[in-house]
Amino acid sequence: MNKDSSDLQTEVAFRKGKKRRKRKETLAAYAFLAPSLLIFLVFTFFPAIFSLVAGFLRWNLPFDPTFISLRNYEYLFVDEIGAAAFGNAMLNTLYFMLGIPINMAISLCIAILLNRRLPAVGLFRTAFFLPTMTSMAAISVVWIWLYHPADYGLFNSILIQAGLPIQSWLRDPQLAMPCLIAMGVWRGMGYNIVIFLAGLQNIPGDLYESAEIDGANWLDQFRWITLPLLSPTTFYILIIGVINSLKAFTEIDVMTQGGPLGVTTTIAYFLYQYAFQYFQIGLASAIAVVLFLITLILTLIQFRFVEKRVHYV
Amino acid sequence: MSRRKNVFEGKRSLSSLFQSRKFRSWVANILWYAVMLVLAFLAVMPFLWMISTSLKGPEEVFTYPPRWIPKAWCFQNYVDAFKAEPFARYFYNSGLVALCVTAGQLISCSLAAFAFARMEFWGKGFMFGLVLSTTMISTQVTLVPSYLIIQKLDWIDTYQGLIIPFIANAFGIFMLRQAFKTIPDELEDAAKLDGCGRLRFLWKVCIPLVKPTLAAQALFAFMGNWNAYLWPLIVTNRQEMRTLQIGLRYFVSQEGGTEWGVYMAATMMVITPLIVLYFTIQKSFIEGIATTGLKG
């Protein structure tokens, strides 16, 4: 009896000690998490909730906010002027996204070309990756100079030598967006090539060997081995491209400021204008919420696909 | 048919076939190099044009047809850029902000990743989910409120306004957690027996073991913040607080500005540090992107 109770006592003491240790560990763990959690709380979670709420307010700085329920969303989707402006920004963004498939096609071709063991492959890879490395603001300045509307602008001088009329490029409402797309393709290529190359190197080589034995030419091999086995990579690049297009801001701010005639006002620039030029915080928040939902859906689709999709189309 | 028969009969024709194959692959290689050279030239052409323009005197910049190699090399543009705009100050601002964000991220991410990888605590799964969920909240939805917070804190035009919002990073926590998980438990037990506390174990044992992951994380953080544009644009008003990117933008968008030689010299200075960095650690950098898909 006596022995039993002393056993029980040590057992209780042991459990208490374990519990105390566990509590101590929990405290220590939260101390470790504290810096990250604090920043996320103040600059991610709180702002996200704040935007959700502010979307229901009319809040034109410096005036005080008033609750107007869904009127901001009504303005963006129903109102004659508002919906026209928002729709225009959305259409511009879709137009801007035309760069994604062009970029993917070119990047895939270059990646296939780069996927061999020859001297100086690394050098070429570096050349293609250089634009991706450099800051978008600096690159945009260089391209403004390339697109210079006078005859000494590089692109215009090439047109003259080819016997074609010179263009005003970024100042031409018809050409401004294609100009931005061309620069975007040039800059984004390096990143896509690296991702495509990683995907290509994951395809087992014996598949090509057995295909060759079966008499498949390179086009067959591309169609029936490379493309299907690369589809997860392709899909990843596509989604990232769409999300980045929704965010595109720097090149537009540096090169066109949304002009001429608003043809390069994509959705991110539209949001910036409402928030930091017109100071309509409520309306800007509503735009941000719509953008957030689109991005969220795209991200979730991407997670689903990456999990579910096993290579073959 | 008869030709094929020959191939298998005589030793000489066999070798000739071999040679023709070799010849074909030789031609293919030459073609490959030609195509690659053209494509690579297109890729670096804007850079070459930038360098070329930055070395031209004012009268040569505006001549048609344009020359790739300037007649008279003019380094005055670089001097003029420094004279016209406080680029030294911009360099200092960009470097300071990028370094502080990088250091802050490494510290906060290591601590959090260590907790997630090697500690048991109440609410761990929920907290990890919470951290990962931040990657789904796009920067646009937090932009305006974050700006208002910075304004309320009176942090507009301050370094803390440029640094503090970025010193937490969910991707960094995730990557470092994976790395910490690979460290065997025996090491931790041995450290405990020697009376080594958690922080010391993290600092002395874990950090040296995950150096490659830390280096990749540091690189992405530095690059991303050196090149950052939208946030520095909205939280700085005073000229002396601008970063390089913002300073460059205001420098070239002056009304009626035509000094393209000076502009290109300034642009050249803005992109050179990162290009140098890239060439020194190129390999680990590309591997980092290929394995994580991350970009700064």
At residue B3, the pLDDT reads: 47
Q: What is the pLDDT of residues B134-148, one digit of tens each?
A: 988 888 899 999 999
Considering only residues 143 to 182 of chain A, which have any Cβ-Cβ distance to chain B shorter than 8 Å? 143-146, 148, 150-152, 154, 157, 160-161
What mean pLDDT comes out for the span B270-291? 76
Query: Scanning every residue of chain B, which has its alpha carbon at the shortest distance from the alpha carbon of A61?
Result: B148
Amino acid letter at B117?
A
Q: Does A57 touch chain B (CB under 8 A)?
A: no
* CA dihedral sign of residues B169, B170, B173, B178: negative
Tokens read off for B188: 């931790």
* CA dihedral sign of residues B253, B254, B259, B262: negative
Distance from CA of B9 to the nearest CA of A (A): 23
At residue B132, the pLDDT reads: 92
At residue A164, the pLDDT reads: 92
CA distance A206 to A224: 14
The number of C-beta contacts closer than 8 angstroms across A and B is 260
Distance from CA of A240 to the nearest CA of B (A): 10
Q: Of A127, A154, A284, which has the smallest distance from its Cβ to B49's Cβ? A: A154
CA distance A147 to A170: 7
Q: List the single best residue of B124, B140, B153 to mutate versus A (max A Cβ within 10 A).
A: B140
Q: Which residues pair with A66 in a beta bridge?
A: A58
Given an 8 Å threshold on Cβ–Cβ distance, is B134 in contact with A45? yes
Check if the beta carbon of residue A125 is closer than 8 Å to that of residue B37.
Answer: no
* CA dihedral sign of residues B9, B13, B14, B17: negative
* CA dihedral sign of residues B142, B147, B152, B154: positive
Query: Scanning every residue of chain A, which has its alpha carbon at the shortest distance from the alpha carbon of B248?
Result: A138
> In chain A, what residues touch B107 (CB-CB under 8 Å)?
35
Buried-exposed string A9-46: b where 16+ CB fall within 10 A, e elsewhere: eeeeeeeeeeeeeeeebbebbbebbebbbebbebbbbe
Check if the beta carbon of residue B241 is closer than 8 Å to that of residue B157.
Answer: yes
Q: How far apart are the first and last CA of chain B?
A: 60
Distance from CA of A148 to the nearest CA of B (A): 10
At residue A306, the pLDDT reads: 65
Identify the helix (H) or strand (E) that includes residue A57.
Answer: strand A57-58
ipTM over 0.95: no
The contacts of residue B3 (CB under 8 Å, 6+ apart) are: none
For tokens 């300071």, the residue is B96
Query: Scanning every residue of chain A, which has its alpha carbon at the shortest distance from the alpha carbon of B51?
Result: A142
The contacts of residue B165 (CB under 8 Å, 6+ apart) are: A39, A42, A43, B146, B150, B231
CA distance A195 to B292: 10
Q: Within a 10 A sphere around the Cβ of A1, how many other Cβ atoms?
A: 5
Buried-exposed string B234-273: b where 16+ CB fall within 10 A, e elsewhere: bbbeeeebbbbbbbbbebbeeeeeebbbbbbbbbbbbbee
Share of chain B above pLDDT 70, in %: 88
Tokens read off for B16: 């000739």
> Which ranges of chain A have pLDDT less than 70?
1-6, 306-313
Angle, helices A176-201 vs B11-54, to 10°: value is 140
Q: Within a 10 A sphere around the Cβ of A204, how many other Cβ atoms?
A: 10
Burial class (CB in 10 A: 0-12, 13-18, 19+), A178: middle
At residue B284, the pLDDT reads: 65
> In chain A, what residues touch B29 (CB-CB under 8 Å)?
118
Residue B149 pLDDT class (50, 70, 90 cuts): very high
Residue (of A281, A195, A205, A294) closest to A243 by Cα position: A294
Residue (of B212, B210, B207) closest to B283 by Cα position: B212
Tokens read off for B53: 């323009």
The contacts of residue B95 (CB under 8 Å, 6+ apart) are: B226
> In chain B, what residues touch A246 (CB-CB under 8 Å)?
138, 140
Whether a cis peptide bond, with omega within 30° of 0, leads into A62 is yes
At residue B151, the pLDDT reads: 94
Structure pTM?
0.86
Q: What is the pLDDT of residues B171-196, one digit of tens each?
A: 999 999 999 999 888 888 888 888 88
Q: What is the pLDDT of residues B222-267, one digit of tens each?
A: 989 999 999 999 999 999 999 999 999 999 887 666 789 999 999 9
At residue B11, the pLDDT reads: 53
Given an 8 Å threshold on Cβ–Cβ distance, is A48 in contact with B137? yes
Q: Does A28 touch chain B (CB under 8 A)?
A: yes
Check if the beta carbon of residue B165 is closer than 8 Å to that of residue B146.
Answer: yes
The radius of gyration of chain A from alpha carbons, rounded to an integer in Å, stands at 28
Residue (of B162, B282, B158, B292) closest to B226 by Cα position: B162
Distance from CA of B240 to the nearest CA of A (A): 19
Q: Of A126, A136, A139, which has the smallest distance from its Cβ to B282's Cβ? A: A126
